[in-house]
Structure 1
Amino acid sequence: MRRPKSILLPISFYYAIRFMSFSAFGAFIGIYYSEALHLSEAQIGTLESIGGLVILLAQPLWGIIGDRAKYKNNVLYLCLIAATLSIWFLPLSGSSLILLAFSLAFFNFFQCAINPISDTVTLELSSTKNFSFSKIRTIGSLGYALMASVAGMIFERNILHMFPVFSILMFISFLLALLYPKVEGHQSKGKKKVNLLILFKDKRLIIIFVYALIISVTYGFFNSFHSLYSKNLGVSTSIIGIGVSIGSFSQFPFMLFFDKIYKRIGIMNILMCSGLIYALRWFLYAFALTETTLPFIWILHGSTFIVFYLCMAQFVNDNVVLELKASGQMMNAIILAGLSRILGSFFGGLLASYVGISNVFFISSIICLVAVSALFFILKYTTLFDSLKTT
Structure 2
Amino acid sequence: MQKNVIILALFYAFIYMSTGAFSSYIGLYFTEVGIGNSEIGILTSIGAIVGLFAQPYWGLLTDRAKYKNRVLIVCTLMSAVTVWLVPWAGTVFVPLLIAMALFSLFQIAINPLSDAITLELSSKGVVKFTRIRSIGSVGYAIISVAAGWLFARNIHTIFLITSIILFSCFLLSLGIPKVEGHQSGKNKVKLAAIFQNKQLVIIYLYTLVMATTMGFFLAFQAIYSKEQGISMQLIGIGLAIGSFSQFPFMIFFKPIYERFGIRNILLVSGLVHAVRWLLYAYALTPATVLLTWILHGGTYILFYLCLAEYVNQHVIKELKATGQMLNSLIQLTMGKIIGGMLGGLFAAHFGFQSAFVFCFAISVLSMAGFFIASRKTRAVEQSSTVGV
Give the aligned CA root-mean-square deviation in angstroms.
Answer: 1.0
Q: Distance in 2 between matches of 1:383 and 1:21?
A: 40
* Aligned-partner residue type, residue 219 of structure 1: M
CA distance in 1 between partners of 2:21 and 2:320 (Å): 29
How many angstroms does 1:383 deviate by? 2.2
Q: Quick check: 1:86 aligned with 2:82? A: yes
Question: Partners of 2:384 and 2:58 in 1: how far apart?
Answer: 33
Q: Within 1, Cα distance between the matches of 2:147 and 2:43?
A: 23
Distance 2:180 2:250 in 1: 27
Letter of the 1:310 counterpart? L
Encode CA deviations 1:19-70: one digit per residue, 9 max, x unaligned.
11111111111111112x2122111111122221001110011011100011
CA offsets, 1:101-160, max 9 Å, x none?
000110100000000100000000011125321111011001100110011000010001
Q: Does 1:7 align with 2:4?
A: yes
1:234 aligned residue (216, 229, 232) = 229
Please, which of 339, 344, 350 is the counterpart of residue 344 of structure 1? Answer: 339
> Match of 1:217?
212
Name the residue aligned to 1:301.
Answer: 296
Per the TM alignment, residue 382 of structure 1 is displaced from its structure 2 partner at its CA by 2.2
Specify the alignment match of 2:257 in structure 1: 262
* Structure 2 match to 1:100: 96
Report how far residue 379 of structure 1 moved: 2.4
Q: Tell me, yes or no, if structure 1 residue 366 matches structure 2 residue 354.
A: no
Cα offsets for 1:205-263 (capped at 9, x unmatched): 11111100011000010111000101111111111101000000000000000111111
SS of residue paired to 1:234: coil
Structure 1 regions of 5+ residues with no counterpart? Answer: none
Q: After superposition, where does 1:274-289 map in structure 2 within 5 Å?
A: 274-289=269-284
Please say which of residues 67-76 and 47-56 is displaced more in the overlay: 47-56
Contact 1:269–1:389 (8 Å) recurs in 2 = no
Q: Give the 5 Å matches for 1:305-320.
A: 305-320=300-315
| 1:180 counterpart (150, 168, 176) | 176
Mean Cα deviation higher: 130-139 or 224-233:
130-139
Contact in 1 for aligned 2:118/2:127 (Cα 8 Å): no
User: In structure 1, what is the equivalent of residue 324 of structure 2?
Assistant: 329
SS of 1:94's partner is coil
**In 1, distance between residues paired with 2:238 and 2:207?**
24
What is the CA-CA distance between 1:351 and the residue it aligns to? 0.7
Aligned position for 1:376: 371
Aligned letter for 2:299?
Answer: T
Q: What is the aligned residue count? A: 385
Aligned to 1:118: 114
Amino acid at match of 2:30: Y
Asked if the contact 1:30–1:227 (Cα under 8 Å) also holds between the matched residues in 2, the reply is yes
Q: Which residue is 1:27 aligned to?
A: 24
Give, in angstroms, the shift of residue 380 of structure 1.
2.3
CA distance in structure 2 between the partners assigned to 1:340 and 1:296 by the alignment: 24
SS at match of 2:111: helix
Q: Which residue of 2 aligns with 1:169?
A: 165
Within the candidate set 36, 45, 67, 2:63 is matched to 67
Residues 264 and 382, structure 2, Cα contact 8 Å, conserved in 1: no
Q: Give the letter for the 1:8 counterpart.
A: V
The question of whether the paired residues in 1 share the 8 Å contact of 2:27 and 2:223 is answered with yes
Q: Distance in 1 between matches of 2:170 and 2:127?
A: 22
| TM-score where L is the length of structure 1 | 0.97
| Residue matched to 1:159 | 155
Aligned counterparts of 1:137 and 1:210: Cα–Cα separation in 2: 25
CA deviations 1:58-92 (Å, max 9, x no partner) are 00110111000111100000000000000000011
Deviation at 1:173, TM superposition (A): 1.1
Question: Per-residue deviation at 1:339?
Answer: 1.1
TM-score under structure 2 normalisation?
0.97
Distance 1:43 1:135 in 2: 38
Question: What runs of 5+ residues in structure 2 fail to find an aligned partner?
Answer: none
| Secondary structure in 1 matching 2:241 | helix
* Distance in 2 between residues matched to 1:13 and 1:130, nearest whole Å: 15
